[in-house]
Amino acid sequence: MRSVRLSDVARHAGVSTKTVSNVVHGYQHVRPSTRERVQRAIAELGYRPDARGRSLATGRTHMLALAVPDLRNPYFAELAHSIAEAAIARGYRLLLEESMGTPEVERAVLSAEEAGLVDGLIFQPVWLTSGELAQHSRGVPVVLLGENSAPLSMDHVRTDNVAAAAHVVEHLHALGRRRIAFLGAEAPVPSQTSKLRLMGYQKGLEACGLPVDPALVVTGGAADAARACAALGAALDAGLAPDALLCRDDLAALGALRALGERGLRVPEDVALTGWDDIEAATHVRPSITTVRADAAHLAGRALDLLFERIEGYDGLGRHEFIGHSLQVRESAPAAKR
């Protein structure tokens, strides 16, 4: 049962294929009587336009690719949701790619084996340097997300991690905490994201007049609760005694919560704790987690705006934008009393 074509409808309605096409697209100059006849034919035959043919003829696919490291990380799942929503609002659909946090797949994503699949790509790289990003990119418009440095030629939307981390430190300092540890930087080489958050952590400490003590930086367990739990547990058992913990992300915070609880340390009384990303679970665990939240809807919107400008033909230098963040203050590091 081959599917109904434009030409079938045209024959059925006694008009040319182009007229049917015009009706389908709501072109103005079609006589009402003709339009109706065509519409009846479409309904009777159950015609639906074929995306491939249309795409081949127009050069547009109305699809975007979104490449994130791993959908199982709630932050990326929520990001994918926001972007899908924003894309649909603009008449686009989303092709999903998981780069699995490996450089090979990231390169493959970028230099798409097949052309013509999507009109643009939104990509959150973890491994590729800006040089490689520039080099492997094919003609498709790209907008980058995340903290890796981006080539001058590409658009980039991100949050100001340094400022946010410093802000968190100040919040903890205002609670009277003085031994503020950092949990979750990858070892031996921290990701770019971790580096920026560490930088902000240090900046915050300095701004508060607190000493910067390398012993307070616990590595291991980014985006992985089990590993964060183990890493923090080992550090605590080895004698580390922080009174606050700035975690690289909410998953690490979840792990930290567990490691602290197992050792009888109360949150926030003994150790205040903050996360990052504001994943769903952060609100619901006990104690709920104070966390840095990027405005995902806004981020998705800006990323798509930039991407569509490129799709429409903008070909200038890369735009590099920051979108806002806010600290969601919850039980694990409450507001300072006054």
Partner DNA sequence: ACCCTTTTTTACAGCGCTGTAAATTCGCCG
Partner DNA sequence: CGGCGAATTTACAGCGCTGTAAAAAAGGGT
Contact residues toward DNA (CB under 7 A) are 2-3, 5-7, 14-19, 21-22, 24-25, 28-31, 33-35, 47, 49-50, 52-54, 56-58, 116
112 binds, among DNA, a second copy, none (CB under 5 to 8 A by kind): a second copy
263 binds a second copy (CB under 8 A): no
H/E element holding 181?
strand 180-185
Torsion sign, CA atoms 255, 259, 262, 264:
negative
Sign of CA dihedral 82, 86, 91, 95: negative
Closest distance between a second copy and the C-beta of residue 212, in Å?
30
Identify whether the C-beta of residue 187 lies closer than 8 Å to the C-beta of residue 214.
no
| Token digits of residue 157 | 């939307």
* Binding test (CB under 8 A) with a second copy, winner from 71, 174, 230, 240: 71
Burial class (CB in 10 A: 0-12, 13-18, 19+), 8: middle
Applying CB under 8 A, which of residues 9, 42, 69, 74 lies at the interface with a second copy?
74
Positive or negative: CA dihedral 229, 246, 103, 124: positive
- Residue 249 CB neighbours (<10 A): 29
* Cβ neighbours around 32 below 10 Å, total: 7
CA 111, distance to chain mean position in Å, is: 20
254 binds, among a second copy, DNA, none (CB under 5 to 8 A by kind): a second copy
Q: With respect to DNA, which residue has the nearer C-beta, 3 or 135?
A: 3
**Nearer Cβ to a second copy (124/161):** 124
For residues 218-247, which are near a second copy according to CB under 8 A? 225-226, 229
Total residues interacting with a second copy, rule: CB under 8 A? 53
The binder of 281, among DNA, a second copy, none, by C-beta within 5 to 8 A per type, is a second copy
Q: Which does 262 bind (CB under 5 to 8 A by kind): a second copy, DNA, none?
A: a second copy
* C-alpha torsion 95→100→104→108, nearest 10: 0
Window of 7-15, 49-57, 169-177, 270-278 that interacts with a second copy by CB under 8 A = 49-57
Pairing mode of beta strands 63-68, 93-98: parallel
Reduce the DSSP state of residue 327 to 3 states and report it. Answer: strand
**Which of 29, 31, 32, 72 is the binder for a second copy (CB under 8 A)?**
72
334 binds a second copy (CB under 8 A): no
Residue 312: how many other CB atoms lie within 10 Å: 8
At closest approach, how far in Å is the CB of 112 from DNA? Answer: 13
Strand, coil or helix: 268 = coil
Taking the complex as a whole, the smallest distance from the CB of residue 71 to a second copy amounts, in Å, to: 4
Chain residues binding a second copy by CB under 8 A are 1, 3, 48-56, 61, 63, 70-72, 74, 77-78, 80-81, 84-85, 93-98, 112-117, 138-139, 225-226, 229, 251, 254-255, 257-258, 261-262, 280-281, 283-286
